Amino acid sequence: MDIELGKRAMLEVQSGDPRLFIESMFQIASKGNTIIPFKFNRLQNYMHENRTGRDYWLKFRQGGSSLYHIATDTATAMCVPNYTAAVITLSTDNGKTKERLFKHVTRFIENMPSEFKLELDMERKDAVAFSNGSQLYIGGVGSKDFARGETIHSLMVTELGSFTDSDAENVLTSSVESVVPGGKIVFETTPKTAGSYAHVFYEQCRRGEKPYSANFIPWWWAGDYSYGEGSFEALIRDRGPIEFTDEEAKLIESFPVDGIPHENRIRWRRAKLADRETDFYSEYPEDDTSCWAARTNSVFPADRIRHMTTEQREPMEVVDGALRIYKEASPMRRYVIGLDAAGGIPGGDYSAGVIQCVETGDIAAVFHGLVGGDTLARQLAEASLRYGRAMVGGERDAWTMPLMEKLEGLGISCYYHDDGKVGFPNTNTSRMQGIAALRSAISDGDFMAYDRLLIQEVANYERVTDSDTKVEKYSAPKGQHDDLCVAAQRAQQLRLSVPGQMTFNPRVQEAQMVSTYDIPRTGW
């Protein structure tokens, strides 16, 4: 090897760019099990160019993500004295992931040019230590001896989605604390269970609520995920020319233009779907919402939720930071607002509203904000007026009842139950009716949402049986919210219950359409 090239590669590692060192020094095993030079593939190149030092990578299986990260850690440890890198893996796979990663490191070192090899001071089951004082730990999550007492410069957590919630939480609350200020922290995983700690953490990162960038890489970034015409690996019916379904035609809009025909990727997709129907979307994700596998106790049908995911989009307009508009009101349609109110207390639940078209089932807008009291009443009243004086309905609870009174004082029609009282009864029967109504609407395609958070809450909503009382409970997984999902249930109940109340309320005279500016603001 050219000595000057090697020296330049080492200097680039020390300045933070290990690519030249990796591609000129390291070798890997090909899928045919031959030893070949390490050249970045599409996924690895994207990771390299977009790394921030604080990253969460959601990606497809066997794309080379962990290989890239272990290579960067090995290269840095070899070129930067007294550098400590740590990799946390599964502890429930009999050490297979740990063994595989150590094999990569061993192959890197054994096959690199001799003039640049570092002598190994020791070789243990959980670490490789170099003569320059650097070391690389690889251990299962929860290992008592793993990198104990070490100051870590780089931490990678691989397949976070496969960790138990308690293990994932422990990594995020303890292991991260061992990383030096300015050190690198990377999480990477294929998506697993919806509502898991790893899923919630990803969403928090995506919303900017955590100090990590959220990155999603779909399966079509893999150059070899394609079957050509005549391929024996394709389904028999697809070995000749194929026609795209509407779903496929929409999907290929996201495919890269890289010389691989779109139909080749679709042939591969159809074959994989036929082979791995139950876990295809988590192993080979196409978006970062529907890819999280539905829980076995999920309340609502996963296929319909996946369809809504393909239709999700950014709102047309956001009002007061809380009302997200997806479709403007139609003068030929009627609308209702399902409500789940809260007090607007910091750290408490959000107030949520779902504005649904009675005739079409489309969710035209959602309300989601940490507000309560007069402010909430004003914002909901303005939303109601924007959608043709939409009727508001919520459960009879401590937050909703005074809110209904405020809304009626502003001329907004509120739902009255068959018993003559405002709001839905605060009973298990009423709640189950709401769940059943929403489940039926979703199953029948009579409910269409475009809001990412609403879709996510619907997807995560689960049925859990108490181990002691044997009573079934319906809610979001522990640590998550279901405010919008509950509001959607109330909206669906309104659609079914209020055709005769749409223009009349016992306490509110029928009013003409007014603008939002007609609502008095004095004293708010």
Domain boundaries, the chain: 3-217, 222-293, 302-518
What pLDDT is stored for residue 520 in this prediction?
42
Of 322, 389, 379, 382, nearest to 358 by C-alpha is 389
Structure tokens at 391: 């009727």
**First-residue to last-residue Cα distance in the chain:** 75
Spans of the chain, pLDDT less than 50: 503-524
Give the pLDDT of residue 156. Answer: 94
- The radius of gyration of the chain's CA atoms, rounded to the nearest angstrom, is 28
Q: Which of 457, 458, 447 is nearest to 491 (CA)?
A: 447
- CATH code 1.20.140.10 for 3-217: no
At 145 the pLDDT is 55
Q: Are 102 and 108 in contact (CB under 8 A)?
A: no
Second-level CATH architecture of 302-518 = 2-Layer Sandwich (3.30)
pLDDT per residue as tens digits for the range 242-272 = 999 988 998 999 998 888 999 999 999 999 9
Name the residue type at position 376.
L
- Residue range 354-395, pLDDT digits in tens: 999 999 999 999 999 998 889 999 999 999 999 999 999 999
Question: Tokens 């009302």 correspond to what residue?
Answer: 323
What is the distance, to the nearest Å, from the Cα of residue 127 to the centroid of all Cα atoms in its chain? 33
Bridge partners of 29?
35
Whole-number Cα distances in Å, 137 to 100, 200, 297, 518: 13, 27, 38, 66
Six-digit token pair at 331? 């003068």
- Could you tell me what percentage of the chain is helix, strand and coil, using 3-state DSSP and rounding each to the nearest 5? 40, 20, 40
Widest distance between CA atoms in the chain: 90
Distance CA 228, CA 211 (A): 43
Cα 322 to Cα 96, 156, 318, distances in angstroms: 47, 36, 7
What's residue 506's pLDDT? 36
pLDDT confidence of residue 522: 33
Collect contacts of 515-524 with beta carbons under 8 A, ≥24 apart.
515/385, 516/382, 516/385, 516/386, 518/385, 519/378, 519/381, 519/382, 519/385, 519/410, 520/410, 521/378, 523/374, 524/374, 524/375, 524/378
